[in-house]
Amino acid sequence: MSPEQAKDILMKKDGFSQWMDLDIEKVDHGYSKLHYTIRPEMLNGFGTVHGGVLFSASDSALAFACNSHGILSVAMEVSISYTRPAFEGQRLTVEAQEINLGKTTALYDIKTYNEEGKLICVFKGTVYRTGKPVE
C-alpha cells in the first residue's frame, strides 16, 4: 500500500478532517504536508483560532504521516506548544515529519506556519503501531 492510498482510506472516513476542509498537498513515507483556511467557526473567545483547531489539523497531518507505512497507527501521547496566534482568513501550512520509527511506537514532529512562514505551533506526537494493516 502506498502512502497516498493509506491517506485516501483515512480521509474517506474522517468526518472531522473533511469539516476542516484540509487540503493535502503531499504524503510520503513518514511525511505529510497540508493546508487549510481559518473560518469564523474555528475561532475561540479571543477572536483567534481555537487551540483545538490548530491541534486537530496537526493531529490529522500526524495520522497521514504515521499511517503512510500501511501499518495502522494511533496517537497515544501528544504535546503542543503555541508560539504565535493565527486569525480568521489566514491560510495555514502544516508539515509532519518522522523523527523516529520504532517497532511498536514512532515519534513525529509537526509544525504549523502562517503565510509569512512564521511558526504558529509545534506538535510532538507519539503513536502506537498496532501491527494491523490500514484498511
Which residues would be at the binding site for a second copy (CB under 8 A)? 9-19, 40-47, 50-53, 55-57, 59-60, 63, 72, 74-84, 99-100, 102, 104-105, 107, 109, 119, 122, 124, 126, 128
| Choice between 33 and 121, CB closer to a second copy | 121
| Choice between 26 and 51, CB closer to a second copy | 51
Angle at 103 between CA 98 and CA 105, to 5 degrees: 55
| Choice between 2 and 44, CB closer to a second copy | 44
Smallest distance from a second copy to CB 60, Å: 7
Pairing of strands 119-133, 31-37: unpaired
Residue appearing with cell numbers 508539515: 95
d(CA 90, CA 75): 27
Q: How far is CA 91 from CA 82, 113, 127, in A?
A: 17, 9, 27
Smallest distance from a second copy to CB 25, Å: 18
Smallest distance from a second copy to CB 73, Å: 10
d(CA 14, CA 79): 22
Smallest distance from a second copy to CB 114, Å: 13
| Choice between 44 and 115, CB closer to a second copy | 44
User: For residue 113, with 0-12 CB atoms within 10 Å meaning exposed, 13-18 middle and 19 or more buried, which class applies?
Assistant: middle
